[in-house]
Structure 1
Amino acid sequence: MKKTTPVFIVSIIVAVLFIIWGVLPASMLGDASLNAVTGDVQGFIVDKFGWFYLLTATFFLLFSVILIFTKYGRIKLGKDTDEPEYSYLTWFAMLFSAGMGIGLVFWGASEPMYHFYAPPTGEGQTAESARVAMRYSFFHWGLHPWAIYSVIALALAYFQFRKGTPGVISQILRPIFGDKVDGKIGIFINFIAVFATIFGVATSLGLGAIQISGGLSSITPAITNNIATQLVVIVIVTVLFMLSAQTGLNKGIKYLSNLNVILAIGLMLFLLFAGPTNFIMDLFTTTVGGYLQSLPSMSFRMFPFDQDNTWVQDWTIFYWAWWIAWAPFVGTFIARISKGRTIREFLLGVLLVPTVFGGLWFSVFGGSAIFLEYFKDIPVYSVIESQGMEVALFSVLQNYPLGMVMSGLAIFLICTFFITSADSATFVLGMQTTNGSLNPPGSVKFTWGIIQSAAAAILLWTGGLEALQTASIIAAFPFAIIMILMVFSLIKAFKHERFTEIKPDERKMK
């Protein structure tokens, strides 16, 4: 197998051109600057196709849930004799660390607080706005994003481990396009996946750098939370994750993922018992019920008669686009670690475990923040307004025992999540640009590590968090169409499955 492919060459060229474009000053380019152009494209997509993101994410969730209850749930992601390579604990730790680590830490306290003050409808700073804030936080980080991940991960694992095809995105669509996936169509599909991965991961790396910088400045006033500090953070952590990337999947990523989960659970349990325990658990219980009850309406909610209300575009559509942009990265990684599991086991694990953990996480951190505002009149939100969302977590922690120690632990957790996400991304980009190699060369992973860190730095430099969000929405649009085709390709392939452990007359099915 060649170490590089046409996908690698095309993707590198486009990525380098993008970085050069971002480096050029806006004063030189005017309306042709990176920030201006991406802003115009993002505005067009959200204005014309916001509904498309909403329907697409819900479609993936419905497909995943229905598939659990069909006979196809018994199919193994591999040969019938294959067994899982990783234990449940390690499997959950790896998929969770790659899938949501940095984002949960960044938004865990800040998103509920934002919705508490500025809900989609109604007055803020009320008991009802607090309930809505928690419900939407569950919604944005619950079943929908993990359904998006599960679709592409399931498709990749099924075709790679059961059908023996190379582990690249284009091969999933072979039942639809046939041998055309080996030509220009396949190169284009894989390029779109790589492009989406770069921007999806760059968004999270940027968020991680922003929050590490904000955390350091909150506990060490001598450190200023500005773009210079954020770029220094990116450089330092890039060196660390590049060292981790050279150790391979079963060393660096595996050990760091387990460490991430231990640190995250430890931090969460500490705040749960150091904070308002009864309030948090009551809030968690109430929000689970409200989330499940309101799931259908939230899944399809837009504001056609309130054109000035951009809340859904700013939050839900951004999130769905972000998850779709992350899908080729997270999906490829989850597929790689899920060989030997049945489709039913895979979907139940991927959908339920991270959703429950994420809900508990938001209840602990978001609930603690709302408790301080609502019952103690401690101004957490004013800190967010003055210093940015990245400091919300540290503002909350410092109002509870051992605040400085816990803030330091949180910064370390963000760093390990940063390293794990970037490490996993270099592995996935290496796979996708070496025709699905399960052990991509170190030089290829090194190249992609530099590219994705540079992309994150450029996006931060040119527009901060807004530029990161814009890039995600743009990158996700073409890949969402590819993912829809994946669902139909899977359905077509499933019809040719033979079942041996069922009734004799069903064994003859094709």
Structure 2
Amino acid sequence: MTQDSAAPPRPQGTTDPPGSRRARREADRFPEDPHLPGRSLNSVFLTSVAAILALLAVAGLFPAPLSSAAGAAMRWITATSGWSLLVIPLGLLGLLLVLALTRVGEIRLGPDGSRPEYSTLAWIAMLLGAVMGIGMITYGVAEPVSHLVDPPHGLAAPGSQEAVVDALRFTFLDWGLHAWAVFATFGLAIGYSTHRLGNKGLVSPILRPLIGRHADGALGKAIDVLVILSTLFGTTTSLGLGAAQISQGLSLLTGRELSTTGVQILVIALVTVLFTASAMSGIGRGIRTLSQTTMVIAAALLLFVLVTGPTSWLISLFLRSLGGYVGDFVEISLLLPAGGEELAWMQGWTYFMMAWWISWGAFVGIFLARISRGRTVRQFVLVVLGVPSLIFSAWFTVFGGAAMWMDLERDAGIGAAAAENVNTAFFGLLDQLPLTGVTSVVAIALVVLYFITGADSNTYVLSVISSDGRMDPARSVMCMWGLLTGATAAVLLYAGGLEALQAAVMLTAAPFILVILALAVSLVMLLRRDALLRRRPRS
């Protein structure tokens, strides 16, 4: 049930009189006391940890059978219901635009008088730095050049100018509006629920319009456990990619073979200590500072490649590809596989990417909600959909486009190398540009920073969910989730490498699709009710 939007929500856990203005204000800032003894160990926490430990035990003892079974299950899911991974994000995108451009867009994520906690620049830096930084390094070059060698759906001849544009159009599809529609839906729902309605920072309370009291019972707890599992495996995929990138970069710099599973597990162990410490320092200091630093370094590297690469060609390519993506948006969004080869291609690229975004949905949503208090629905939707999509498109054009130009004009072989190992692509591009040693060190540093910002945000979110939705969880809980996240990534790498990580993402994202649909319906019901209350004259 919604409450009068003119008054701040009555917080949970406060002992001050309900009429106390100071009590409402203080509790609105600090919804729960995370340091009360025994408050963190609830059934969601215990069930999630037990399930994860059991899976890690099986993966460690029987890696080959588990990897084989997970791969078979992933192939079955994509063959039977892969279409939903494209259709549902497209539907969410349309819904969000309707909400933003109607009267609902005026509603704030918080009381009517609230204002943003962070500046717009800091806000954008955090939402960019905490989301998919590692993937931008791993796939920033690898995906476009791979599509140049093996064009999507056979729409163009390999290595042709048409294949260059198509490579970027379909890369934009994988990393653009569809991904951010999933993130924005979760973020808007959780932000509205926590900041305006005073609910816990969980997914389950938002579903009350659909499942009623069951949101606070066993069904709601099961949903929150699923959120934790999906979030964990989505993040560990990024950690696995980051470890592979770091080890590959070190191999190129030292001339020694360091891109082995053992080295990658060691990298995960070392960085786990760093991101756990960062998460425990809090969003206001650790995550915000790292996110802003990472954004500056990434922007500097992008400008370096743009200036030292084929600048005019890249600018022209960006405009052509963006125009093709926008002009044919609906068509390429619904371009489903027609046969076995196309299905295999989709499983390796678009289906995997969409499942990855879905598995990250609750994580990014809770984090976006945490940093977006005071924003209007319209501002939240338009910025979260538009700004990252545009920046990601520019990133893939500059890095991926430069690599494609090197292959076409200099026969650099970056695409062929990426087909064998995607982790070589980014450093293969830097090898074709000036100051290779310096830029390779910068790239490794950027991966480490993205590793930390993404993982400490994940640690914070897992701690919130497992602490009954309190937005300021205990440090001991964050420490535990940081260590468990690193351990999960290491064990899955040992069990089957990137394939095991991809299968874990696909398997946890599949049931989560139903949660997304329910979340979208509940959000519309809540916002519509709020809009009607705002229009009702006061007595």
Q: How does 1:214-293 map to 2 (within 5 A)?
A: 214-293=248-327
Q: What is the Cα deviation at residue 67 of structure 1?
A: 1.5
Cα pair distance change 1:402/1:64, threshold 3 Å: same
Aligned residue among 370, 383, 391 for 1:349: 383
- Residue 457 (structure 1) aligns with: 490
Query: Which stretch shows the higher mean deviation, 307-316 or 393-402?
Result: 307-316
State whether structure 2 residue 120 is matched by structure 1 residue 83. no
Query: Which stretch shows the higher mean deviation, 218-227 or 150-159?
Result: 218-227
Preserved CA contact (<8 Å) 1:218 1:391: no
Q: What is the Cα deviation at residue 295 of structure 1?
A: 0.8
Q: How does 1:366-381 map to 2 (within 5 A)?
A: 366-381=400-415
Query: Which stretch shows the higher mean deviation, 125-134 or 194-203?
Result: 125-134
Q: What is the Cα deviation at residue 426 of structure 1?
A: 0.6
Task: State the distance in 1 between where 2:267 and 2:400 align.
Answer: 26
- Residue 111 (structure 1) aligns with: 143
Letter in 1 for 2:502: Q
Q: What is the Cα deviation at residue 176 of structure 1?
A: 1.2
Task: State the distance in 1 between where 2:419 and 2:337 align.
Answer: 26
Aligned residue among 413, 433, 436 for 1:400: 433
Q: What is the Cα deviation at residue 274 of structure 1?
A: 1.1
State whether structure 2 residue 516 is matched by structure 1 residue 487. no
Cα pair distance change 1:65/1:495, threshold 3 Å: closer
CA offset digits 1:30-69 (Å, max 9, x no partner): 7xx2212211221221111111211111111111122111
Aligned residue among 95, 110, 122 for 2:127: 95
Task: State the distance in 1 between where 2:90 and 2:455 align.
Answer: 28
Q: How does 1:434-473 map to 2 (within 5 A)?
A: 434-473=467-506
- Residue 6 (structure 1) aligns with: 43
Letter in 1 for 2:490: A
Task: State the distance in 1 between where 2:422 and 2:456 align.
Answer: 25
Q: What is the Cα deviation at residue 222 of structure 1?
A: 2.3
Aligned residue among 61, 68, 73 for 1:41: 73
Task: State the distance in 1 between where 2:347 and 2:171 align.
Answer: 15
State whether structure 2 residue 244 is matched by structure 1 residue 202. no
Report how many residues are paired.
498
Q: Report the 3-state secondary structure (helix = DSSP H, G, I; strand = E; otherwise coil) of the residue aligned with 1:197.
A: helix
Give the structure-2-normalised TM-score.
Answer: 0.90
Q: What is the Cα deviation at residue 395 of structure 1?
A: 0.8
Q: What is the Cα deviation at residue 453 of structure 1?
A: 1.1
Q: How does 1:84-233 map to 2 (within 5 A)?
A: 84-120=116-152, 121=154, 122-233=156-267
Task: State the distance in 2 between where 1:247 and 1:279 align.
Answer: 44
Task: State the distance in 2 between where 1:183 and 1:149 align.
Answer: 26
Task: State the distance in 2 between where 1:381 and 1:40 align.
Answer: 28
Q: What is the Cα deviation at residue 424 of structure 1?
A: 0.4
Letter in 2 for 1:464: G
Preserved CA contact (<8 Å) 2:103 2:531: no
- Residue 382 (structure 1) aligns with: 416
Task: State the distance in 1 between where 2:354 and 2:260 align.
Answer: 28
Letter in 2 for 1:58: L
CA offset digits 1:330-358 (Å, max 9, x no partner): 11101110000000000011001101100
Q: What is the Cα deviation at residue 99 of structure 1?
A: 1.4
Q: What is the Cα deviation at residue 500 of structure 1?
A: 8.2
Q: What runs of 5+ residues in structure 1 fail to find an aligned partner?
A: none
Letter in 1 for 2:435: L
Task: State the distance in 2 between where 1:424 and 1:249 align.
Answer: 8
Preserved CA contact (<8 Å) 1:168 1:435: yes
- Residue 4 (structure 2) aligns with: none
- Residue 442 (structure 2) aligns with: 409
Alpha carbon RMSD of aligned pairs, Å? 1.4
Q: Report the 3-state secondary structure (helix = DSSP H, G, I; strand = E; otherwise coil) of the residue aligned with 1:3.
A: coil
Task: State the distance in 2 between where 1:403 and 1:484 align.
Answer: 47
CA offset digits 1:196-215 (Å, max 9, x no partner): 00100001010101111111
Task: State the distance in 2 between where 1:4 and 1:261 align.
Answer: 36
State whether structure 2 residue 341 is matched by structure 1 residue 308. yes
Task: State the distance in 2 between where 1:383 and 1:315 align.
Answer: 17
Query: Which stretch shows the higher mean deviation, 17-26 or 252-261?
Result: 17-26
Give the structure-1-normalised TM-score.
Answer: 0.95
CA offset digits 1:443-490 (Å, max 9, x no partner): 111111111111111111111111111111111111111011011101
Task: State the distance in 1 between where 2:44 and 2:358 align.
Answer: 20
Letter in 1 for 2:323: G
Task: State the distance in 1 between where 2:465 and 2:533 align.
Answer: 33
Letter in 1 for 2:136: L
Aligned residue among 486, 506, 511 for 1:478: 511
- Residue 451 (structure 2) aligns with: 418
CA offset digits 1:147-203 (Å, max 9, x no partner): 000001000000111111111110110111112111101110000100100100001
Q: How does 1:319-334 map to 2 (within 5 A)?
A: 319-334=353-368
Query: Which stretch shows the higher mean deviation, 218-227 or 93-102?
Result: 218-227
Task: State the distance in 1 between where 2:157 and 2:405 align.
Answer: 18
Task: State the distance in 2 between where 1:51 and 1:355 align.
Answer: 22
Q: What runs of 5+ residues in structure 2 fail to find an aligned partner?
A: 1-31, 33-38
Task: State the distance in 2 between where 1:238 and 1:105 align.
Answer: 19
Task: State the distance in 2 between where 1:51 and 1:268 align.
Answer: 34
Cα pair distance change 1:87/1:37, threshold 3 Å: same
Q: What is the Cα deviation at residue 223 of structure 1?
A: 4.4
- Residue 64 (structure 1) aligns with: 96
Task: State the distance in 2 between where 1:477 and 1:454 align.
Answer: 23
Preserved CA contact (<8 Å) 1:498 1:508: no
Task: State the distance in 1 between where 2:299 and 2:532 align.
Answer: 41
State whether structure 2 residue 366 is matched by structure 1 residue 337. no
